[in-house]
Amino acid sequence: MDGTEHPRVKVRFQLTVDSEGWPPVGSEGLWAEPLGDDLFKIDNTPWFVRNLATEDVVRALAGSDGVLWATEKVRWSGRFTIRVIPRRDGPLAADRQAVLDAFAPFGVSGEGVEQYGMVALDVPPVAELSAVKALLRAGEADGRWYFEEGCIGDDWATA
């Protein structure tokens, strides 16, 4: 980084809600840095958008209402997005910060959102993927959380 503040804008992503009502919203807005030529670098971890991670580059066009709507992912950053829902009836008692704390030693960050009772994890490509994956599976097996893979790459499958 050059130390200067880069402008950020919201880019919206249209979502398809399944028959069970998931995700609970029809679109998601993510912060992004304009790169020019209708390209934007995603600047936060997606809650619901599938196959998208922090620092991915997307193309977005303004709708008639001026809202920027994503039209395609142009470049993957190499980062992974994993969504974790800490169980209310489990040992974490739905504590989202406890999930973040469990993954912090692996260089994994993210944020919890109370409204949906979940954590979106941002896994950098330099993280020890096998350890992250083992912790996710162990936490699901012992009742701490449920998880889903929002955006993964080939390295994840072999970890």
**What residue spans of 66-123 are helical by DSSP H?**
96-103
- Whether the per-residue pLDDT at 140 is higher than 90: the answer is yes
Q: What beta strand segments (E) does 24-155 contain?
A: 27-36, 39-42, 57-62, 68-75, 80-86, 109-113, 118-123, 145-151
| pLDDT, mean over the chain | 93
Tokens of 40: 């934007």
Q: What pLDDT digit, counting tens, does each position of 5-51 carry?
A: 668 999 999 999 999 988 889 999 999 999 999 999 999 999 999 99
* Mean pLDDT value of segment 65-82: 97
What pTM was estimated for this model as a whole? 0.90
> What are the tens digits of pLDDT across the range 61-72?
999 999 999 999
Q: How far apart are CA 24 and CA 132, in angstroms?
A: 27
State the alpha helices, DSSP H only, in 15-153. 96-103, 129-141
